[in-house]
Structure 1
Amino acid sequence: MRTSYRVSKLTKSDKSIFVSLMSEAFARDPLFLHLFGDPELDSKARNSVTAFVSFMFDKSFLLHEEVWGSFENEKLLGAYIVEKPHASKLQNMIGGLLLIGRLIPLFFLMSGKTLSRLNSYMRITRSAAPPLPHHYLIMIGVKPDAQGKGIGKSLLQHLLNTTDADKKSQGVALDTENIQNVNLYRRFGFTLSSETRFDNLPVYCMFYQKELH
């Protein structure tokens, strides 16, 4: 019997379960290991990962982003953060000002070098995205012991369905540092738009161009 998963938008009250989930899901992620170190061996790296994921969750509610999760009953098994394409400049300006307060804890947990590299990474990847209105998949993760059950695929399909229904969006951009993910995304209609490097880490920039009717 196939398990049914419920995909729902997360609220601010879901922060703790989101941070716990994504900290686990990204523990072996190439970019996270490169930036923060190994959280399984180093408590400082573990604290940095938790702080960064917490920051990303807070940021989603201040900027024009949404967080969606896949639930089995009330247990969160997977989630993604997506940036929507039609935020106004005023929205971004107000959100950016409010975001400054959320950045402060990162300065105590991460070196200036790590924060600078994070900024460089975001600049590199965003410049690789096509210059047209689109959704941007910021991060997507599945609880390690729930992987292989179709949860990630159902979340990705949910995002594509949302994008296809949004007349202001022409597709979805994403970046991955895991070469194994490239073929997975290709099966969902993404193409490899560019391949670049961040430090010595390969970065694969992909785009899903939706059909315009």
Structure 2
Amino acid sequence: MTAPYRTAKLTKNDKPLFVGLMSRAFARDPLFLYIFGDSEVDRKANSRMTAFLSFIFDSSFMLHEEIVGVFEHERLLGAYVVEKPSASKLMNVIGGLLLIGRLVPLLFRISSPPLGLLNAYMRITRSAAPSVPHHYLIMIGVEPEAQGKGIGGTLLLHLLHAANADQLSQGILLDTENKENVAWYRKNGFLLHRETQLHDVPVYCMLYRK
């Protein structure tokens, strides 16, 4: 990719850009449709999804996570959220305590069934995680109209470089519910680590080993 594209970490001021981007990028995602409903036709589903994305953004600044985006001038075209391996248990404990305060408003915007599905999804995917320290790609999304321009590849390459440079990390784990994504991740050095499902939604756990 060439100018005017740039890759940079997101700041707290980028929250509206992130929530808007990911809302559009994941509008037809099988997992999001199953958990939240169709956000393109259902206002409640859209409210639930944006509340969850706002929570993901806020929590990244409290936990050992990082959000990186690709910009065209001031427009956010793609982004990923990654959990990095931490050598500090105290950091994780403090972050977890701060996160409790963010969970309270989320409970009022997302009903119990979607929260139960999210918890079930986390249990399923985390049970597939390797025991060694690793990066966990929480989500990666590209503006629908900007797809096919190499933005997703640029984001993934940036993450691969970060993981390879991290002496603590042994690789990257991610999960996708789109079967067509499996071949793309394999092309970029990932292996299908485990195949499972959340009720009727297939889940493909992909692993990159350094």
TM norm. shorter chain > 0.5 = yes
Q: What's the offset of the Cα at 1:2? A: 5.8
- Residue in 2 aligned with 1:31? 31
- Residue in 2 aligned with 1:178? 178
2:101 is the alignment partner of 1:106 = no
Cα contact 1:5–1:151 (8 A) shared by 2: no
- Residue in 2 aligned with 1:58? 58
- Residue in 2 aligned with 1:96? 96
- What is the identity, as a one-letter code, of the residue corresponding to 2:55? F
Cα contact 1:133–1:169 (8 A) shared by 2: yes
- Residue in 2 aligned with 1:85? 85
- Residue in 2 aligned with 1:47? 47
- What is the identity, as a one-letter code, of the residue corresponding to 2:181? N
- Residue in 2 aligned with 1:197? 197
Q: Report Cα offsets for 1:152-191 as digits up to 9, x if no partner.
A: 0100000001111111111000000000100000000000
- What is the identity, as a one-letter code, of the residue corresponding to 1:160? L
> Residues of 2 paired with 1:60 and 1:21: CA distance?
16
- Residue in 1 aligned with 2:118? 118
2:71 is the alignment partner of 1:71 = yes
Q: What's the offset of the Cα at 1:113? A: 1.8
Q: Report Cα offsets for 1:123-156 as digits up to 9, x if no partner.
A: 1101101111110000000011111100001000
TM (norm. structure 1) is 0.96
> Residues of 2 paired with 1:157 and 1:19: CA distance?
23
The structure-2 alpha-carbon separation of the partners of 1:2 and 1:11, relative to structure 1 and needing over 3 Å to count, comes to closer
TM (norm. structure 2) is 0.97
Deviates more, 1:80-89 or 1:24-33: 80-89
User: Is the partner of 1:67 in helix, strand or coil?
Assistant: strand
Q: Report Cα offsets for 1:76-97 as digits up to 9, x if no partner.
A: 1000000001252211111111
Deviates more, 1:122-131 or 1:183-192: 122-131
Deviates more, 1:188-197 or 1:91-100: 91-100
Q: Which runs of 5+ in 2 are unaligned?
A: none
- What is the identity, as a one-letter code, of the residue corresponding to 1:63? L
> Residues of 2 paired with 1:76 and 1:2: CA distance?
15
User: Is the partner of 1:92 in helix, strand or coil?
Assistant: helix
Cα contact 2:51–2:110 (8 A) shared by 1: no
Cα contact 1:66–1:83 (8 A) shared by 2: yes
> Residues of 2 paired with 1:121 and 1:208: CA distance?
21
> Residues of 2 paired with 1:58 and 1:87: CA distance?
22
Q: Report Cα offsets for 1:18-69 as digits up to 9, x if no partner.
A: 1111111111111000000000110000001100000000010000000000
Q: Which runs of 5+ in 1 are unaligned?
A: none
